[in-house]
Structure 1
Amino acid sequence: MSTKNIMIVGVGGQGSLLASKMLGHVLLAAGYDVKVSEVHGMSQRGGSVVTYVRYGEKVHSPIIDLGEADFIVSFEMMEAARYLPYLRMDGQIVTNTQQIDPMPVLTGAAEYPEDLTGKLKATGVKVDAMDCLALAEEAGSAKAVNLVLLGRLSKYFDLPEEAWMKSLEAIVPAKFVEMNKKAFALGRDYTEK
């Protein structure tokens, strides 16, 4: 099989690193060669965080170039738009509709773009967008956005749900497992109302 590329993008503190760790774990357990590379940027100050997850029969490099991502998993709308050039022509965006104002918006130097979901769809790419924050809060914690997104992403993979659950149990601290399983299920089973 050819190498598949997933970019996980977000803002520091949103749990994207745990998401990439769990994704790498489930793919490794499925028998793939997996490379995970983290690019932190100004993550501690609410800046952009990007993680590359590449998997296949044999993966030689952890880096994803422009136009190579099969999936962009985005924790925040503007990050999905920012990394759009990395998506393949037939790629898929899985995104949280949450908006986190970057510093230029907070200081009044810029405005947050309106209707980013519509603008992304207008480019012709496939966009699976949902309010992951609301679903995470329904599961029990706003911090579970990462598992809501992974639950959604899992629908695009031919891996049994039990495989995802085994990785979740291996990666997530025991006291948070049940809440995170609920968040995963809410993301996986979400349907637009």
Structure 2
Amino acid sequence: MADIKNILLVGVGGQGIILASKILAKGLMSVGFDVKMSEVHGMAQRGGSVTTQVRFGEKIYSPIIGKGQADILVSFEKMEAVRWIDHLKKDGKVVVNDYEIPSAPILIGSAEYPKGIVEELQSKTNVTIFKAADIAKGLGNIKTMNIVMVGALVKAMGIDNIDWEEVIKNTVKEKFVDINIKALRKGMEQI
């Protein structure tokens, strides 16, 4: 694959987006791609917006994805998908975790969580929406939600031929390897 692929992962602080990006970057590098990654996590510890941009191909010069350039947008929280949709290519794909994390204005009652997000996304783009949090809870650990999303991403991008299980073994703590491999497999089943 000589062309460049752009992946934008978005969500809220504490959802494991940066770990997901690191797993993704390691896997892509393991098969010889040049990979550049950028992350923004300003108020991440307080539930703020978190984004990571992963670009891969034969040779990558910049980690930044501009508006209209993402091949795939992976949203760990559904309101974030709407916030970042303008970065998606016209023929791009969107993978969304049907999960809500209320922002500070919503929590204090000065705003309401927007309704109709799923329907709006479905009317505008090629989108797969599923409940990664429910899948992770079913596995026994909600914190594996990020790896469920990684599984869906690699399947949606057609990069599931990489040994992602080995990447997980080499990235997460040993006591969490088995549950994260199960989460990866469950995520792949969603696409």
TM over 0.5: yes
The separation in 2 between residues aligned to 1:96 and 1:115, in whole angstroms, is: 14
Q: TM-score, normalised by structure 2?
A: 0.96
Offset at residue 159 of structure 1 (A): 3.6
Kept in 1: contact 2:31–2:162 (CA 8 A): no
Aligned 1:138-157 pairs, distance under 5 A: 138-157=138-157
1:155 partner letter? K
1:50 partner letter? T
Offset at residue 100 of structure 1 (A): 0.5
Which residue of structure 1 aligns with residue 190 of structure 2? Answer: 190
The separation in 2 between residues aligned to 1:158 and 1:73, in whole angstroms, is: 14
Which residue of structure 1 aligns with residue 103 of structure 2? Answer: 102
Aligned 1:17-166 pairs, distance under 5 A: 17-123=18-124, 125-160=125-160, 163-166=163-166
> Secondary structure of the equivalent of 1:37?
strand
The separation in 2 between residues aligned to 1:78 and 1:115, in whole angstroms, is: 10
The separation in 2 between residues aligned to 1:13 and 1:156, in whole angstroms, is: 24
Number of aligned residue pairs: 190
Offset at residue 3 of structure 1 (A): 1.0
1:178 paired to 2:178: yes
> Secondary structure of the equivalent of 1:155?
helix
The separation in 1 between residues aligned to 2:70 and 2:99, in whole angstroms, is: 22
Offset at residue 44 of structure 1 (A): 1.1
The separation in 1 between residues aligned to 2:6 and 2:144, in whole angstroms, is: 23
Kept in 2: contact 1:139–1:180 (CA 8 A): no
Kept in 2: contact 1:39–1:49 (CA 8 A): yes
The separation in 2 between residues aligned to 1:179 and 1:161, in whole angstroms, is: 20
Q: Name stretches of at least 5 consecutive residues in structure 2 with no aligned partner.
A: none
The separation in 1 between residues aligned to 2:182 and 2:28, in whole angstroms, is: 21
Kept in 1: contact 2:27–2:162 (CA 8 A): no
Identity of aligned residues (%): 45
The separation in 2 between residues aligned to 1:5 and 1:105, in whole angstroms, is: 32
1:180 partner letter? N
Offset at residue 140 of structure 1 (A): 1.7
Offset at residue 31 of structure 1 (A): 0.8
The separation in 2 between residues aligned to 1:42 and 1:101, in whole angstroms, is: 14
Kept in 1: contact 2:98–2:132 (CA 8 A): yes
Kept in 1: contact 2:151–2:185 (CA 8 A): yes
1:135 partner letter? I
With over 3 angstroms needed to count, the CA separation of the structure-2 counterparts of 1:52 and 1:160, relative to structure 1, is: closer
Q: Name stretches of at least 5 consecutive residues in structure 1 with no aligned partner.
A: none
Which residue of structure 2 aligns with residue 5 of structure 1? Answer: 6
Kept in 2: contact 1:73–1:94 (CA 8 A): yes
* Higher alpha-carbon deviation: 107-116 or 20-29: 107-116
* Higher alpha-carbon deviation: 182-191 or 17-26: 182-191
The separation in 1 between residues aligned to 2:77 and 2:37, in whole angstroms, is: 21
